Amino acid sequence: MNVHKMGSFTSDDLMRFPGESIYQSITREPKGKLYVLKAELENTYKNFDYQFEIHIDFDVFIDAINQAVVSRNIDFVVMGTNGVTGAKEILLGSNTINVIRKVDCKILAIPEGYRFTPIKELLLSVGPRDVIDGNQFTDLLEFMETYQLHLNVLSLCRIKKI
């Protein structure tokens, strides 16, 4: 999915070809890049039962994701974490943090430059106020069974100074 903020365009961006709508002008380049990415993914994963769709939206970032999650029955949002600032010391960009806080869907946030290695161990970190409902626990168990993972539980609590 590619989301654009309307305020980020100049009049030069909007007037490229005569007879072309503003929407077509704005979406031409990102749509082309998405079609290239889709072709690469379909070629790489041709032996898997995956489907790739292209979706471009002009909306507030979080609203666009929430609408897509509901309208397309999305179970899992996968996104990169590289922020606009490019500051390497920042763990998550503001968009990633807002998605985690405001989108009611499972989120997988992948740091820029990350290379996948098979998962063997899973850490579940829980604090005194954390509540894991039945659906969340079922999802966790299914994930563990799928990848044959070993679960480690870390219970966090406050230590009072004497």
**What pLDDT sits at residue 67?**
95
Mind listing the pLDDT tens digit of every residue in the chain (162 residues)? Answer: 656 555 555 455 555 567 778 778 888 888 999 999 999 999 999 998 888 988 888 888 899 999 999 999 998 899 988 765 555 556 677 888 999 999 999 899 988 888 989 889 999 888 888 888 888 889 889 989 988 999 999 988 877 776
Count of domains for the chain: 3
Neighbour-count burial of 99, counting CB atoms closer than 10 A to its CB (0-12 exposed, 13-18 middle, 19+ buried): buried
* Residue 65 sits in the same domain as residue 110: yes
* Residue 17 sits in the same domain as residue 51: yes
Q: What is the CATH number of the domain that holds 68?
A: 3.40.50.620
Show which of 42, 58, 74 is a domain's final residue: 58
**What pLDDT sits at residue 82?**
72
Helix (H) or strand (E) holding 101: helix 94-102
Per-residue buried b or exposed e for 22-36, using 16+ beta carbons within 10 Å of the residue's own CB = eeeebbeeeeeebee
**What pLDDT sits at residue 136?**
83
* Residue 133 sits in the same domain as residue 111: no
**What pLDDT sits at residue 113?**
85
* Residue 41 sits in the same domain as residue 3: yes
**What pLDDT sits at residue 63?**
94
What is the domain extent for residue 65? Answer: 60-116
**The dihedral sign for the CA sequence 38, 76, 108, 149:** negative
Show which of 20, 41, 58 is a domain's final residue: 58
* Residue 7 sits in the same domain as residue 48: yes
* Residue 47 sits in the same domain as residue 33: yes
* Residue 4 sits in the same domain as residue 36: yes
Helix/strand/coil for 92: coil
* Residue 69 sits in the same domain as residue 81: yes
Q: Are 64 and 98 in contact (CB under 8 A)?
A: no
* Residue 2 sits in the same domain as residue 42: yes
